[in-house]
Amino acid sequence: FFIVVVSFVYKYYKTKKGITLKIRGIIVNIRQGDIFKANGWKVIPFNENFDTTVDDIVIAHSTLNGVFIDSYVEDIHELNNTIASEPDDDTEFKRYRRNNRIVYPLGRIIRYQEYMLLAFTHFDRNMAHLTQKDYEDCLRVMWAEISRTYANKPVFIPLLGSGITRFDGTPNKSGFDLLKCMLCTLRTSGENINKPITILLTREALEEINIYEIKGVK
């Protein structure tokens, strides 16, 4: 009994530092870390228009999107040109026009340098938002887009939806719910990705989420 208890406690505290799963043969790491220090593709969420104005109205300086543009984009014109000139030829998730603006389907990815820019939220009334269904659909499209664009390099993703994103008609989602949804949509996506995927959590998120339960250690 003592050995079983010690083993249980050891496994529990070991998972608090992060875990590695295999989902349909895809290696998935869940770790604490800074996405900007990662060595591979870094997924950065944008709104469906791929706006780049950081003014605490369209994009808040404190968000991952804002930090990326403020601190890691040297030439904003180059970024805007990359977004505007992205071809639709190789993807089924094509841009379209709505109210005289170009809109991208949620989940669409545009590559820029070492980043994967992700259309993640709707944006109107200066508010980034999506429904639970939008979130799940976005993740499914994202996995397909990552499979299309990852070019055999590791991919690093933040815990999507854990920032200031609003979920229409539902309470704010817990970090555990968001992480579980990311993993479930990957499991059901059918996509083949041959390099590790790492979901990076903040220290606060890692303390909140029982990743021991995610791993299913018994």
Q: Is residue 136 exposed (0-12), middle (13-18) or buried (19+ Cβ within 10 Å)?
A: middle
Whole-number pLDDT of residue 16 = 55
Whole-number pLDDT of residue 211 = 77
Query: Taking the chain (218 residues) in consecutive chunks of 10 residues, what is each chunk's mean pLDDT?
Result: 48 63 94 95 97 94 96 97 93 92 96 97 87 95 97 96 79 85 94 96 87 62
3-class SS of residue 184:
helix
Instruction: Tell me the pTM.
Output: 0.88
Whole-number pLDDT of residue 207 = 84
The span from the CA of 103 to the CA of 167, in Å, is 19
Q: Which residues have a Cβ under 8 Å from the Cβ of 108 and sit 6 or more positions away?
A: 91, 93, 95, 118, 119, 141, 145
Any bridge partners for residue 118, and if so which?
Answer: 45, 109
The span from the CA of 148 to the CA of 4, in Å, is 45
Whole-number pLDDT of residue 170 = 74
- How is residue 31 written in tokens? 């770790």
| Phi, psi angle pair for 12, to nearest 5° | -60, -50
**∠ at Cα 138 (99, 146), nearest 5°?**
115
Whole-number pLDDT of residue 199 = 97
- How is residue 138 written in tokens? 């976005």
Whole-number pLDDT of residue 125 = 79
- 168 and 120 in contact (C-beta within 8 Å)? no
